[in-house]
Structure 1
Amino acid sequence: MDVLVPRLSVVVPVFNEEDVLPLFAQRIRPVLDGLDLAYEVLAVDDGSRDATPAVLAAMRRDWPQLRVIRLRRNSGHQNALTAGLHRARGQFVASIDVDLQDPPEVIAEMLRLAEDTGLDVVHGVRADRSTDTPFKRWTAGLYYRLVRRVVGASVPHNAGDFRLLSRTAVDALTGLPEQRPVYRLLVPWLGLPSGEVTYTREVRAAGRSKYPIGKMIRLALDSFTGFSAAPLRVATWLGCAGIALCVVIGGAALAAYLWGTVVPGWTSMFVALMFVGALQLLCLGLLGEYVARMFTTMQGRPPYVVTFDSAVTARPLANQGSAPWTL
């Protein structure tokens, strides 16, 4: 029996979002129904510990286009996106967060732009982030400035994981051997024809943010260590500067000894040792990031583990290799 291939798939990572899920469904379903095309919505439950699985099960009963993919444990936002991309069957695949800060209505505009101009990627770019906290705006601006300097100007400024991809782009992404993907950098790296749709970022519809400062730092580390050797070069230059400083201090100490000058010594020596020790720890930490990535790759463990997929009878999935496990 042939399975209808939807024109559009929408991948929605979900983690402990029992409060906002009904609001999200009320907002996005009329938009997708109004497109007058075959679609599917893949809600990827990233190991939620609240009533999210029950809410999704209830939503499925009267929303036939909704598919639920449940990960056995919390694997992170990017890995939840990976699970959805591997299982999306649409000719176009959109990804959006469930908190409604990215307006679902923009998906229709993205799809029209892609179809009319033949684009493979349409980025959702946040033209107005006034609803974010000042700290969030500052850290986001710093992140994008550093990423564009290190990775390249091809990375759209203020573009997160709200985007539309063609089947060509999805197949290219799912064929990559990334264990810790950062899609806001991977997608521009593909170099496919791309466009942008701007929108105003809204306030969170309900609940609290699931992306605290710790996860933001982790994303930044994955971005820099996964796409550039610049951190290693920074460590190298800091090490060279530390050595040069030690040579200067050593020369000054030798000159003082030869001239017979009494040097207190303890304070300067203590500061120098602390400075050099800090540089060593920084360099070791940066090297450790790369070693950890190599270790993860050598283990070959899947980035996520699926415990339930509401469309297990769908056609076989292409370009998945041996990365994901389905239980």
Structure 2
Amino acid sequence: MDVSVPRLSVVVPVFNEEDVLPLFAQRMRPVLDALDLPYEVLTVDDGSRDATPAVLEGMRRQWPQLRVVRLRRNSGHQNALTAGLHRARGQYVVSIDVDLQDPPEVIAEMLHLAESAGLDVVHGVRADRSSDSRFKRWTAGMYYRLVRRVVGASVPHNAGDFRLLSRTAVDALIDLPEHEPVYRLLVPWLGLPGGEVTYTRERRAAGRSKYPLAKMVRLALDSVTGFSAAPLRVATWLGCAGIALCVAIGGAALAAYLWGTVVPGWTSMFVALMFVGALQLLCLGLLGEYVARIFTTLQGRPPYVVTFDSAATGRPLVETGKGSTPWKL
């Protein structure tokens, strides 16, 4: 099988997954071999600190179609996915997590749908999330309702980062000047012809989740601040409401003064000051999210740094995520 020009690339972000990697290979390789087409599996090691690099190296020796891209430091799931998309060579590119909660067997159905219907995007939609905890399902439901309200109904409900992209879609994503990409929102934003394939989400094959509550909150913030100015408008609305409330309180105080029923006290003054102070802090916090994004963009720092690519020259390198020439160590 000629793997020099693969028809299908599978991008797999990996972070501290030494336990699940052998299980992933045992399940993924038969699925891809059965497709009977040139393919590659591009694993992006997102700065793992366990035995993941050694496990990947052993897998690469036994699996010719496996590529390994190693990032110098942990850059985050979305940036690791960016590194993989920039290096995927296939006509179609599938992104999937290594934990096997998204079944690899669905890839064949995705590819068939894309080829038969001429689609550029095929989303994997979780029709059954009973394997997730109740808290996970609740927070995920809140997230999708939020982003669909902010970004639009084009965002598929319960669609994560398990999807198939055509070369057209991948090139369009690469050309976007995103420093903090959220692909589950960027891909629908492109407006390319798309479809959906439903599946049952499974339990994690091994290891622990690498997406705790803090990262989920960070993803929600990036989703909202990266795709909408609604938070700034909320701050404006709150400011207007605060002014209206202050006018109402001032009017009531003036009326009480005219009627001679004013009772000196500090409670009302304290509450008013606390309300105004809290409102100011909230507005400053929302503005700070946008100022932080402007600051990150002006810095011009790449979202990831590659230190090794097994498909390149075989020698160590340092390569930024902005298309610059690799630096030799």
With normalisation by structure 1, the TM-score equals 0.95
Q: Secondary structure at the match of 1:197?
A: strand
Question: Aligned letter for 1:210?
Answer: K
Secondary structure (helix, strand or coil) at the match of 2:137 reads helix
Counterparts in 2 of 1:9 and 1:53: CA distance versus 1, 3 Å: same
Shift of 1:258: 2.6
Q: State how far apart, in whole Å, the 2-side matches of 1:86 and 1:232 are.
A: 33
> The residue matched to 2:208 in structure 1 has which SS?
coil
1:63 correspondence with 2:63: yes
Q: 1:163 to 1:14 in 2, by over 3 A?
A: same
Instruction: Output the CA distance in 1 between the equivalents of 2:72 and 2:158.
Output: 32
Secondary structure of the corresponding residue to residue 98 of structure 1: coil
Residues 150-169 of structure 1: matches in 2 within 5 Å?
Answer: 150-169=150-169
Which residue number in structure 2 is paired with residue 77 of structure 1?
77
Alpha-carbon distance, 1:299 to partner: 1.1
Q: Render the CA deviation track for 1:260-282: whole Å, top value 9, x for unaligned.
A: 22324311221121111111111
Residue identity in the other structure for 1:4: S
User: Any idea what the Cα deviations from partners look like across 1:118-140, whole Å, max 9, x if unmatched?
Assistant: 10000000000111111111111
- Does 2:226 correspond to 1:226? yes
Letter in 1 for 2:254: L
2:127 alignment counterpart: 127
1:54 aligns with 2:54: yes
- CA distance in structure 1 between the aligned counterparts of 2:261 and 2:171, rounded to whole angstroms: 72
Residue 190 of structure 1 aligns with which residue? Answer: 190
Code of the residue aligned with 1:303 in structure 2: it is P
CA offset digits 1:239-292 (Å, max 9, x no partner): 111111111112222222232223243112211211111111111111111111
- The equivalent residue for 2:11 is 11
Which amino acid in the other structure matches residue 127 of structure 2? A
Q: What is the rounded CA distance, in whole Å, between the counterparts of 1:109 and 1:326 in structure 2? A: 42
In structure 1, C-alpha distance between the alignment counterparts of 2:127 and 2:215, rounded to whole Å: 23
Deviation, 1:325, is 7.7
Q: Deviations over 1:287-316 (max 9, x none)?
A: 1111111111111110001111111149xx
Quickly say closer, same or farther: Cα 1:326–1:172, change in 2 above 3 A: farther
The amino acid of 2:183's aligned partner reads: Y
Structure 1 pair 324–263 and aligned structure 2 pair: CA distance change class (3 A): farther
The whole-number CA distance in structure 2 between the counterparts of 1:322 and 1:246 is 55
Flag structure 2 segments of 5+ consecutive residues without an equivalent: none
In 2: Cα distance, 1:134 partner to 1:13 partner: 26
Pick closer, same or farther for the CA change 1:200–1:3 going to 2, 3 Å: closer
The answer for the alignment partner of 1:146 in structure 2 is: 146
SS in 2 for 1:10: strand
Closer, same or farther: CA 304–57 of 1 in aligned 2, 3 Å: same
> Kindly tell me: are residues 297 and 320 of structure 1, through their superposed partners in 2, closer, same or farther at Cα, counting changes over 3 Å?
closer
Tell me the equivalent position of 1:117: 117
Deviation digits for residues 57-76 of structure 1 (CA, Å, limit 9, x no counterpart): 11111011111111111100
TM-score normalised by length of structure 2: 0.94
1: CA distance, partners of 2:134 / 2:5: 43
- Specify whether residues 270 and 237 from structure 1 end up closer, same or farther in structure 2 by C-alpha distance, changes over 3 A only: same
In structure 2, distance between residues paired with 1:263 and 1:56: 75
Aligned residue number for residue 247 of structure 1: 247
CA RMSD of aligned residues (A): 1.9
Tell me the alpha carbon deviations over residues 166-186 of structure 1, each in whole angstroms, 9 at most, x when there is no partner.
Answer: 000000000111000000000
In structure 2, distance between residues paired with 1:79 and 1:136: 23
Residues 189 and 75 of structure 1: CA distance in aligned 2, closer, same or farther (over 3 Å): same
Answer whether contact 1:307 1:326 (CA < 8 A) is retained.
Answer: no
Q: Which amino acid aligns with 2:230?
A: A
Give 1:38 shift.
0.6
Aligned residues: 323
Distance 1:14 1:89, change over 3 A: same
SS in 2 for 1:48: coil
User: Structure 1 residues 297 and 104, CA, compared in 2 at 3 Å: closer, same or farther?
Assistant: same
Alpha-carbon distance in 2 for matches of 1:150, 1:323: 38
